[in-house]
Structure formats: C-alpha cells, structure tokens
Amino acid sequence: MVPVTTAPRIRVTFNASVSDMLPWKFVPQQREVRVLPGETALAFYTATNKSDSDIIGVATYSVTPAQVAPYFSKIQCFCFEEQRLNAGETVDMPVFFYLDPDLLHDLNMRGINEVTLSYTFFKAKYDDNGNFKSIPTA
C-alpha cells in the first residue's frame, strides 16, 4: 500500500470500554494518530485483569462515522482472537491498520477528516459443548 501524499491527513482517535461483567481495565495508549490514506499505522491498547482469576475476553470494534468502516482495514488486531489475561496481568495489545485510499473517490467521504476506532471487551463464555458465546452487557 502506498500512502497518498497529496491527500490531507486523517485524524484517527481511539476509544476503549469494558463490559460491567469483565473486571478489566482497558485503555488506548495514545489518544490519536494522523495518517494519510494508504499509510499503515500501529496503535496500542493496554489491558489489565484486575481480578484474582484468569479470564478470557473478546473484543468487538466499531468505526465511526459509519461510512468510513468499509475503508478501515485492520492488518493485525488483538480483536481477531480471544485474549486470556492471568490474574493481575497487564498486556499491550496492538492494532495495525490503514485507511484504503479508495475513500478519496467516495462522495460520501467528502469532508470527513476524523475517524474513531472503538473497542469494547466482553467476558468470553462457553456453552456445555465448548462453543464460544459472549455474555450480553445487560
């Protein structure tokens, strides 16, 4: 992927939250990065298991505004797999991404110069057959 150096940089901000049922602290390490379309970027989040038990969590993500989502490409992300944190453990979780340059040709993207990447962690749960299911937040 080649960055489009003639395009303006897009501000990508980071957000993090945790389900009430998961005793983790989860925060972005940086508030924002500014990237060119086609430029790869690496950001980190930090998660800490505040309990005295090992816990498996799973992250969901969203990109806003919604019309940006098809152009937001994650190359590597902690959200691709479950995350197991031992009791009291703190880990850094990377996300490696880029904004597809095709967004420059989409009329719905005109005037958009800021994107927010949000993650929410939920406690992972398995049914009697060993199949994964997430626990609802309510």
Of the options 2.40.110.10, 3.40.395.10, 2.60.370.10, 3.30.70.20, the CATH number for the domain spanning 10-122: 2.60.370.10
**Would you mind telling me the total number of residues written for the chain in this entry?**
138
Are 85 and 104 spatial neighbours (Cβ–Cβ below 8 Å)? Answer: no
Strand-pairing partners, residue 125, are 133
Model pLDDT, residue 133: 59
- 64-107 pLDDT tens trace: 999 999 999 999 999 999 999 999 999 999 999 999 999 999 99
- 14-25 pLDDT tens trace: 999 999 999 999
- 101-124 pLDDT tens trace: 999 999 999 999 999 999 999 999
The domain limits of the chain are 10-122
pTM given for the model: 0.86
